[in-house]
Amino acid sequence: MLDPSGRFVLSYNGEVYNFLELRKHLQGRWEFLTEGDTETVLAGLTALGSSFLDSMEGMWALALWDRRDRKLLLARDRMGKKPLYFREIRGGIACASELPALARLTRENDWEEDLDSTADYFRYGYYLPGTTAYRDVREVLPAHTLTWSPEEGVSSQRYWSLPVGSYQGTRGEARRQLRQKLRNSIERRLVSDVEVGAFLSGGVDSSLVVSLLAKELGIRPKTFTIGFSDPAFDESSFARQVAANCATDHYEDRLESWDSGQLEDLVLDHIGQPFADSSLLPTTLVSGLASKHVKVALSGDGGDELFSGYQRYQARAILSWYTRLPPPLRSSLERVIRAIPEPMAHHSRSLLKKAHLFTDTIGRLDSETPYVGPVMYSAAGFAALVPDLVGRGHKPPVLPSECRLDDIHQMMVSDALVYLPQDILAKVDRASMAHSIETRAPFLDRALVEFAFQLPRYWHRRGLSGKRMLKETFRDLLPGRIWNRRKQGFGVPVHRWFRKELGHELERLLVESQAPLSIIAVKRILEDHRNSRRDHGNRLWALYVYLLWRQRGRPNR
């Protein structure tokens, strides 16, 4: 969209939920010709500059080009919901919302694998903020602007920071404010020309969104969920219970097996780089299901980071107790656990599985200190897998200093600033946009995010119990079975797939790819998995996706 003078050109991907309110403040400066939010963004940026971003509530990636002064402004929303990549090229700069599109804009330039990024990928399963799999191809950071001109090149500036720990009210006041803020956030995200539905996994966060829609806002949405043939991974019964409780128009589908063609389409044509989270597949499936009925869907993304919902926070709390035991006793316990074959069941169904995962956490503790995100391997395991990448990797982002005194609080902040945008939001955006579905996340409303992180950490979690503020605030909205269920997540039974044809495909790719991997180490991991000694399903998936990209997905192949 061009401004009336023709000086400014805006390219915009996103949704600003408070655009009607913002228009009122711009009326004296701009004569509006359209009814949408794009013109509001254009008017605000041309009239007020990048300071206008502070008043915007929503999700966005945008590029504003000043034709007269030859200056480019790039900007991305606070939590990184919408992607934006760029690359400086001879005499200019190129930007796009997807890496494959950016590759087309810069096809005369060779795209080379960045081995520092590859090291990050095998540590975390995703790339760190600001980086990509490719050398000299970068990502605009969440909550940042980036400016470029031919004379001055690129410069980046943060326009928002996450506030941590300054709430002064009582717990009762906090509960009342939390309820109102989440309700307000949902209401803001209902502004649409089309019907708004909701993803419903059966977990607490998506169930809360649906329950508030139905019971407090009087809306009976269409809801969508994905089940699995493996009952250990299937949450559809919980989703059906919430849907019945809220009288929604509910739709289900099932993921019976992996689809190699669909995976290649997602990784190679939409993500454009390796992505290790196998829940990309069911997220794509539920997006495809929703696309048959609605064009906009609400999700529960962000609830675990804001309100301390992940199992790894519980594991860190147990570690603080466990490390006080005598070292000989700890060593004996760990030897006994490792001597027993690891179950292939989901961790929510097996105490022994939890014990194995806990010993993994112990082995990775040094690699997760200071915490950036959950890592995939211990230091020794990483060195065995990618010996040439030891010591390589990008510098992780700096966290707010206020969170350094509390391990779990630091994990929550880091997960919100690193794991959430690089894994969860990237997955949902690419999977939903592949089906032309716009996904909106009420938990990522600025007011709610800032409020949640200003509350004392122990209000969210004490001992082994997380999401305490959510439970205390919204207990009346959900059935007890939902509140009391075991944390499960959107797990995928990849362990079965690597015992069959996918394991053979991994071996073939390994031989053909000439990747910086130890073939011996990868085959050992696969053999342990096939013989049921250890469940390496998620690690094997990360390896498979990387090798698939190495063979077929890189530009200029």
* DSSP per-residue letters across 264-289: HIIIIIII-S----TTHHHHHHHHHH
What is the Cα–Cα distance from 548 to 427, expressed in whole angstroms? 18
Residues 6+ apart with CB under 8 A from 154: 86, 88, 93, 146, 147, 148
Q: Which two tokens stand for residue 476?
A: 């009346």
| Residue pointed to by tokens 């993803």 | 199
Give residue 401's pLDDT: 59
pTM of the model: 0.92
Q: Do the beta carbons of residue 551 and residue 513 sit within 8 Å?
A: yes
Cβ neighbours around 517 below 10 Å, total: 21
Q: How many CA atoms lie within 13 A of 372 on its CB side?
A: 21
Q: Which two tokens stand for residue 395?
A: 């510098």
pLDDT at 199 over 80: yes
Q: What is the residue extent of each domain of the chain?
A: 8-158, 171-308+426-484
Which of 177-181, 283-287, 527-531, 550-554 has the highest mean predicted lDDT (pLDDT)? Answer: 177-181
Total residues found in the chain within this entry? 557
Write the burial class of residue 127 (CB in 10 Å: 0-12 exposed, 13-18 middle, 19+ buried): buried
CATH 3.40.50.620 describes domain 171-308+426-484:
yes
Fold match between domain 8-158 and domain 171-308+426-484 = no
- For 366-414, write each residue's pLDDT tens digit: 888 888 999 999 999 999 999 999 999 999 877 665 555 578 888 999 9
Residue 349 binned pLDDT confidence (cut-offs 50, 70, 90): low
Residue 348 binned pLDDT confidence (cut-offs 50, 70, 90): low
Cis amide bond preceding 221, omega within 30: no
Q: Which two tokens stand for residue 341?
A: 């074959």
Over residues 285-306, the mean pLDDT reads 95
Give residue 311's pLDDT: 85
Which of 102-111, 187-196, 385-394 has the highest mean predicted lDDT (pLDDT)? Answer: 385-394
Q: What's the mean pLDDT when you consider all of the chain?
A: 89
Q: Do the beta carbons of residue 142 and residue 77 sit within 8 Å?
A: yes
Give residue 485's pLDDT: 67
Distances in whole angstroms, Cα of residue 233 to Cα of each of 138, 263, 346: 36, 20, 6
| Residue pointed to by tokens 């390589």 | 392
Q: Which letter, b or e, does each residue of 184-202 get, where b requires 16 or more Cβ atoms within 10 Å of its Cβ?
A: ebbbbbbbeeeebbbbbbb
- For 465-513, write each residue's pLDDT tens digit: 889 999 999 999 988 888 876 655 556 778 888 888 889 999 999 998 8
| CATH code assigned to 8-158 | 3.60.20.10
Over residues 155-169, the mean pLDDT reads 91
pLDDT at 355 over 80: no
Closest among 300, 547, 315 to 439, alpha carbons compared? 300
Closest among 399, 412, 404, 402 to 459, alpha carbons compared? 412
More confident residue, 407 or 243: 243
Q: Do the beta carbons of residue 528 and residue 537 sit within 8 Å?
A: no
What is the Cα–Cα distance from 495 to 138, expressed in whole angstroms? 33
Closest among 275, 294, 309 to 428, alpha carbons compared? 275
- For 60-88, write each residue's pLDDT tens digit: 999 999 999 999 999 999 999 999 999 99
What is the Cα–Cα distance from 170 to 14, expressed in whole angstroms? 36
Over residues 331-355, the mean pLDDT reads 72
Which of 35-44, 160-169, 397-406 has the highest mean predicted lDDT (pLDDT)? Answer: 35-44
Give residue 301's pLDDT: 96
- For 521-541, write each residue's pLDDT tens digit: 999 999 999 988 888 889 999
